[in-house]
Structure 1
């Protein structure tokens, strides 16, 4: 049986040799970003890139997903590798020669790099089929940016695409980051990203003339009071050792300066790291908003839309990612995150059913301090493409290590 080190020998050089191809696919996707669950152009670009490889291809029925299965030379387990494909609704403001040609859409979270890295890793692994005891399930996923694409793929049978005996025993995903030093790999065991829910509150009073507020029931001060009351609720009702963030980011009321409106609307996001805390805060949001509205003789209709669950890395899988990163990228380039981050990820749906791990790959642009770099989701974000060499090697290495 090959040793772990012999399995990984030459991975970096092979990923570097594939870099022109990786960059070309990334730039083609960057020029033509697509949003949500329907990504026909992106799907077709992935299919074209994989067309000459010995893969079993499965297309999504309700979403533009691509699942590719690479069978190894001998029987064995299945490992899943994920690359998300969708962009964000932003107008790009970067100096790139290959910037988005689609108005109002941009690959501002680096999903174009994820697709390109996973496609090149598939090519690298296909060349090493003789070293694989088992199979690789390549998950090209739409709709990560709030559209629950991973859940759709699971509902369509993602985890059974490799056959009854091919249910994945491990699952891995990389996420590029513009605010980490290029080539560094950061991960942690346990919770790594938060659950994310959307709250919407419609406060209804009675409209009237702004000169006579006593004749109206003004919803604006009620809505304003809710913003402060919700923050007080977090500090008074949630254990200080439990992370929870509640941000009201959207408030709308009124049409002009001398009319008290009938309604005021608030919208925000809740981020939590534990399901009991999530449930508690849901109850508290309803209670605080309804009773605050009553104090102003108004009523509040509170709606909470559940989003992604907490992304939880399996302890052993996160350890394997760190160990592999040390061998592939260098020990000084691997770091254990001291704390999770409050962003959310729908790879959480996969990790609820398959032990695995998510890790962040640094791609801060040259000459830029990571602390001041434009972050993911900025319309000015830039990624150092040289980081993709390490990403390709890591994706391939995770499969080789699991299936040796």
Structure 2
């Protein structure tokens, strides 16, 4: 990569990092992307409020997808960088500013190459959740996939920067690489009353404690060899807390994560049965609700094999490393469920960082990762277009 282009991309990345925006409100980010695509004479269309899909087409041939996410997180930045976020409690703590920059760099590079086919450049909003979704319960990736705008694509390729992986290393996992994840709400409806007259009440606090303990046994009896977590992250009671009043309701919130989709479904079924049994045992009513479901991300071994020459060309021997599946969510999973896909972790470790991972207020990324990131998306796109011709 020429140094002038590299410095220009660093400038774009720092501008994005300094002005982060939450999901479905990435209006300035989207405007910058549109400006860059216009400057490259790449036609584009808007999707999912702030999303942008650019189209690079030369001749006749297959269509493939390159995807970057563009949203930030509700985190107060604590990196001390001179280009730190200017917005309170909003930060690019997951590296989406780099993803956007790398895809813009790949677009620039592909404009100068010859190929036959179409490359869809997907700049996707709201990977991190659906809190402001125009379609209830759907992230940006799910909305884009369900829009049908990528139905002709033969394959999809995505990158995610990894702050604890050295620059020049590419990480991968074939098969179910990232987890099925959903948020859950368990609402326990009891019968309130005086703490000294327990025979007249149905205590939702007591029941909630039984639910938390019993639910953990589901994991130990269901996911004995599969990675899975059922985490309770918040407990809230109805009304004002009091030492002598049993409340009417208790709300439990948490996250369910399982690497294998069949294991995930078994855990859900057993949790439903457990709560039905609790209702019968205690004479209460319990409502279970799941939101923000992301399926497991499927990495296609065939796509990985097709990209082997690109791995060697960009990263070199021994620098493409297989890792274990992880219990984190990524809505690239929706793309991977409709077409053969590969999602890689791009080494972006900053010197001195051996502790701060994604979503941490102190996480930082090495901008040198832009060079191999752009090269890999460029050469990967060309390789896939050739493979599917």
With structure 1 as the length reference, what TM-score do the two structures score?
0.88
Separation in 2, partners of 1:181, 1:30: 21
Q: 102, 123, 128: which one pairs with 1:140?
A: 123
Could you say which residue in structure 2 is the equivalent of 1:387? 369
Q: 1:366, CA displacement in angstroms?
A: 0.6
Q: 3-state DSSP class of the match of 1:159?
A: coil
Deviation at 1:383, TM superposition (A): 0.8
Post-superposition shift, 1:39? 1.7
Q: Hey, what does 2:134 align to over in structure 1? A: none
Q: Distance in 2 between matches of 1:330 and 1:214?
A: 72
Determine helix, strand or coil for the equivalent of 1:46. helix
Deviation at residue 43 of structure 1 after TM alignment: 0.6
Equivalence for 2:21? 34
Distance 1:297 1:192 in 2: 42
Any gaps of 5 or more consecutive residues in structure 1? Answer: 1-12, 161-166
Q: How far off its partner does 1:323 sit? A: 4.2
**Hey, what does 1:318 align to over in structure 2?**
304
1:365 is displaced (CA, Å) by 1.3
Residue by residue, what CA displacement relative to the aligned partner does 1:286-335 show, whole Å, maximum 9, x if unpaired? 12123235434432111123511111011111233454223202223210
Query: CA 1:288–1:323 in structure 2 vs 1: closer, same or farther (change >3 Å)?
Result: farther
Mapped to 1, the partners of 2:340 and 2:375 lie a distance apart of 21
SS in 1 for 2:294: coil
Decide which of 104, 110, 117 is 2:95's aligned counterpart: 110
Residue of structure 2 in register with 1:158 after alignment: 149
Query: 2:347 maps to what in 1?
Result: 362
Aligned equivalents of 1:36, 1:176: Cα separation in 2: 19
Q: What is the CA distance between 1:17 and its match in structure 2?
A: 4.5
Provide the C-alpha distance between the structure 1 equivalents of 2:213 and 2:307, rounded to a whole number of angstroms: 42
Q: CA deviation at 1:214?
A: 4.0
Rounded to whole Å, the distance in 2 between the matches of 1:358 and 1:402 is 14
Q: Aligned-pair distance for 1:41?
A: 0.9
Match of 1:10 in 2: none
* Structure 1 residue 215 displacement after superposition: 3.8
Q: Do the aligned partners of 2:307 and 2:383 also contact (CA within 8 Å) in 1?
A: no
Q: How far off is 1:206 after superposition?
A: 1.9
Distance 1:319 1:340 in 2: 19
Q: Secondary structure at the match of 1:158?
A: coil
Change (3 A) 1:17 1:190: farther
> For 2:54, which of 68, 87, 94 is the aligned residue?
68
Quick check: 1:328 aligned with 2:314? yes
2:278 alignment counterpart: 292
CA contact (8 A) 1:54 1:126 kept: no
- Change in Cα spacing, 1:392 to 1:214, as seen in structure 2 (3 Å) is same
CA shift in 2, pair 1:368/1:93, >3 Å: closer
Equivalent of residue 220 in structure 2, options 235, 241, 250: 235
**Aligned residue for 1:256?**
241
1:171-182 matches, within 5 Å, as: 171-182=156-167
- Structure 2 spans left out of the alignment, 5+ residues: 131-138
Matched residue of 1:230: which SS? Answer: helix
RMSD: 1.8
- The DSSP-based 3-state class of the residue aligned with 2:187 is strand
